[in-house]
Structure 1
Amino acid sequence: MKKLQVLVTGANGFLGGTLFRRLWRGNDFECVGAVRSRPGIINGTDNMVTVGDMGAVIEWSSVVSGIEVVVHTAARAHIMNDEVADPLAEYRKVNVEGTLNLARQAAAAGVKRFIFISSIKVNGEQTVTGQPFFSRDAPSPEDFYGISKHEAEQGLRSLAAETGMEVVIIRPPLVYGLGVKGNFASMIKLVGKGLPLPLGAVHNQRSLVALDNLFDLIITCIDHPGAANETFLVSDGEDLSTTQLLQGVAEAMGKPSRLIPVPASLLQFGATLLGKKALAQRLLGSLQVDISHTQKCLNWTPPLTVKQGLQRCFPNHQD
């Protein structure tokens, strides 16, 4: 049986790199990885190509020739305290112009399906507890990263209507797993040091997605007929408070959770005084997603629990 030919962009990143390795080592797909710089070699394969910085001028024709499905993970990621002169222009250059340039050339080459890893930030930054985001909700991005992902989604839908290439959009919330960076990595370091944290009485609710759960959904979307031209929200299916998350990380590390029960209202007040409102929103606010459409449309269930996903953040818990 002929294997599907799959291209993964961002194939040396946190998400794209692990996805590429998993697909390449599996038996179901023939996989090519595209990277910005220096192609890598995995166990003797040279199935990685260097394409340079994502943008509107990259020539993709030779890369997408013969490809049937593109999984586009490459992006200019959300950057705290961005210091470039025009952050929105930089996000658009990569996340909008670069995405649509690739998608147009993919469609022209006969690619059947384009899977775009977007962001829950397209829906918005925060939810009221118990009122999650749905895939059908009107987009309401607030920051430049979310705006650029929304604009890319719009362009892809228009391109799908013009060319017939199927587009699948996946909007993950915070993704965690082995090698995670950013705020989640910082949190792991604090827990690992055993420092007391004033986050023992936070009763928000946040949706997260383990790397392996996101992979499982992406792989499902590669050839599932029900995925065509759909938008999917994804999570572990278990929402956690910040307090519960820190406790879970500590348990996965085999460390005690030293959490002091400071009222969230007091933490919010202190963060406002210190000019850390954005940080307080991530720690104290809620962001929930409803994955019922994803589950029903694809007959899909996250294979890992949150506890299993957190255990896989640490090498001694790898299968």
Structure 2
Amino acid sequence: MKKILIIGENSYIGISFRNWILKFNDEYEVESISVKTSAWKEVNFSKYDVVLYLSAIVHIKEKDEALYYKVNHQLAIQVAKKAKEAGIKHFIFMSTMSVYGLNKGTIDIDTDKLPTNHYGKSKLMAENDILDLESEKFLVSIVRPPMVYGKNCRGNYDKLSKLAKKTPFFIITSSYRSMIYIDNLSLYLKVLIDSQIGGIHHPQNSNYVNVSEMFKTIRLQNKKKTFLFNVNPKILGNLLKWSTFFSKVFGTLIYTKELSLSSLNTNQNKYIKKNEVNFCKSIYKSEKE
């Protein structure tokens, strides 16, 4: 039985992963702790096989920069060092697509990491320092998911879902996004844990997501009709510049399929594709469960 310690007991990914993985109740034992106080320092890490670090500062004002670096970088390093000293075999750090600093474009193996906000910068600093701790006895996995969505997920999916329930009108766009449904991310983490795979990972759904189709599918699951319309490219361009939400939703931003597939072997990738939740079902589960 694998014993997993989740750092960030109230995190969306942490709660979701624990609920998902426990359906394999004879294979895993999972516990979660908070690092909001210093009580975590008294926890005995030595009884665990895997530490999954999910604690993060994301949705706060950029001016509160010190908090980003305290939690996303400094605290992550402290926990990783404690895990290594306790003999933990596998440390998984949840990073972000934001380390690339892009709102649009295609990310491949040669794309530079140039984060533009404190969230991305603090996560990249943590990545580098945690990787420096790696040894033969301390395996490190860095996971950089794109936009995560699912039931009760905060962020841009929640905003899009709320908008879809209020209005039947939406813009037709030819842009695509790399996204990952929460259960698919949990599946990916299971593969990393089971196979003890280190390195840097870029998981995503098998298919890119068109935001217009996502809007339409959300409304369909809520039994609502949708009216899509074209917008003058200049007007859309101005919206992308004016609104962070619009730039994140309507600009194409993808991981190449090769980048996502390269960190696992053929059988592992086949296993994930066979067991992942497809797009339509993922929206149904996000809206109805």
- 1:60 partner SS: helix
Aligned mates of 2:110, 2:238 — CA distance in 1? 34
Kindly report which structure 2 residues correspond to 1:139-158, keeping only aligned pairs within 5 A, or say none. Answer: 139-158=113-132
Please report how far the alpha carbon of residue 297 of structure 1 lies from its aligned counterpart in structure 2 after TM superposition: 6.5
171, 175, 189: which is aligned to 1:218? 189
For structure 1, the residue ranges without an aligned partner over 5 or more in a row are 36-50
Aligned mates of 1:112, 1:20 — CA distance in 2? 20
4+ runs deviating over 4 angstroms: none
Query: What is aligned with 1:20?
Result: 18
Please report how far the alpha carbon of residue 283 of structure 1 lies from its aligned counterpart in structure 2 after TM superposition: 2.5
Aligned mates of 1:145, 1:114 — CA distance in 2? 21
Aligned mates of 2:139, 2:74 — CA distance in 1? 19
Please report how far the alpha carbon of residue 271 of structure 1 lies from its aligned counterpart in structure 2 after TM superposition: 5.4
Are 2:65 and 1:72 equivalent residues in the alignment? Answer: no
Please report how far the alpha carbon of residue 237 of structure 1 lies from its aligned counterpart in structure 2 after TM superposition: 1.8
For structure 2, the residue ranges without an aligned partner over 5 or more in a row are none
Residues 88-144 of structure 1 show CA distances to partners (whole Å, capped at 9, x for unaligned) of: 32111000011111000000000000011110111232343xxx3235643221211
Query: What is aligned with 2:36?
Result: 52
**Compared CA separation, residues 22 and 241, structure 1 to 2 (3 A):** closer
Over the aligned positions, Cα root-mean-square deviation in angstroms equals 2.2
TM-score (norm: length of structure 2): 0.89
**Compared CA separation, residues 68 and 297, structure 1 to 2 (3 A):** farther
Determine if contact 2:97/2:144 at 8 Å carries over to the other structure. yes
Greater helix proportion = 2
Aligned mates of 2:264, 2:280 — CA distance in 1? 20
Determine if contact 1:6/1:29 at 8 Å carries over to the other structure. yes
Aligned mates of 2:248, 2:124 — CA distance in 1? 21
Please report how far the alpha carbon of residue 174 of structure 1 lies from its aligned counterpart in structure 2 after TM superposition: 0.6
Please report how far the alpha carbon of residue 234 of structure 1 lies from its aligned counterpart in structure 2 after TM superposition: 0.9
Aligned mates of 1:159, 1:297 — CA distance in 2? 28
Aligned mates of 2:263, 2:131 — CA distance in 1? 18
Aligned mates of 1:244, 1:236 — CA distance in 2? 15
- 2:283 partner SS: helix
**Compared CA separation, residues 91 and 280, structure 1 to 2 (3 A):** same
- Calculate percent identity across the aligned residue pairs: 22
Matched pairs, number: 281
122, 134, 143: which is aligned to 2:108? 134
1, 4, 8: which is aligned to 2:2? 4
**Compared CA separation, residues 141 and 233, structure 1 to 2 (3 A):** same
Determine if contact 1:71/1:116 at 8 Å carries over to the other structure. yes
Query: What is aligned with 1:281?
Result: 247
Aligned mates of 1:207, 1:97 — CA distance in 2? 29
Aligned mates of 1:134, 1:92 — CA distance in 2? 27
Query: What is aligned with 1:252?
Result: 221
TM-score (norm: length of structure 1): 0.81
Please report how far the alpha carbon of residue 214 of structure 1 lies from its aligned counterpart in structure 2 after TM superposition: 0.2
Please report how far the alpha carbon of residue 20 of structure 1 lies from its aligned counterpart in structure 2 after TM superposition: 1.7
Aligned mates of 1:207, 1:118 — CA distance in 2? 15
**Compared CA separation, residues 245 and 295, structure 1 to 2 (3 A):** farther
Aligned mates of 2:108, 2:152 — CA distance in 1? 29
Greater strand proportion = 2
Aligned mates of 1:179, 1:287 — CA distance in 2? 23
Q: Please say which of residues 288-297 and 175-184 is displaced more in the overlay.
A: 288-297
**Compared CA separation, residues 271 and 288, structure 1 to 2 (3 A):** closer
Q: Please say which of residues 233-242 and 208-217 is displaced more in the overlay.
A: 233-242
Determine if contact 1:224/1:298 at 8 Å carries over to the other structure. no
Please report how far the alpha carbon of residue 195 of structure 1 lies from its aligned counterpart in structure 2 after TM superposition: 4.0
Residues 231-271 of structure 1 show CA distances to partners (whole Å, capped at 9, x for unaligned) of: 01011021122222212222233321232221343122255
288, 296, 299: which is aligned to 2:265? 296
The structure, 1 or 2, with the larger RCO (C-alpha pairs under 8 Å, 6+ apart) is 2
**Compared CA separation, residues 296 and 65, structure 1 to 2 (3 A):** closer
Please report how far the alpha carbon of residue 61 of structure 1 lies from its aligned counterpart in structure 2 after TM superposition: 4.7
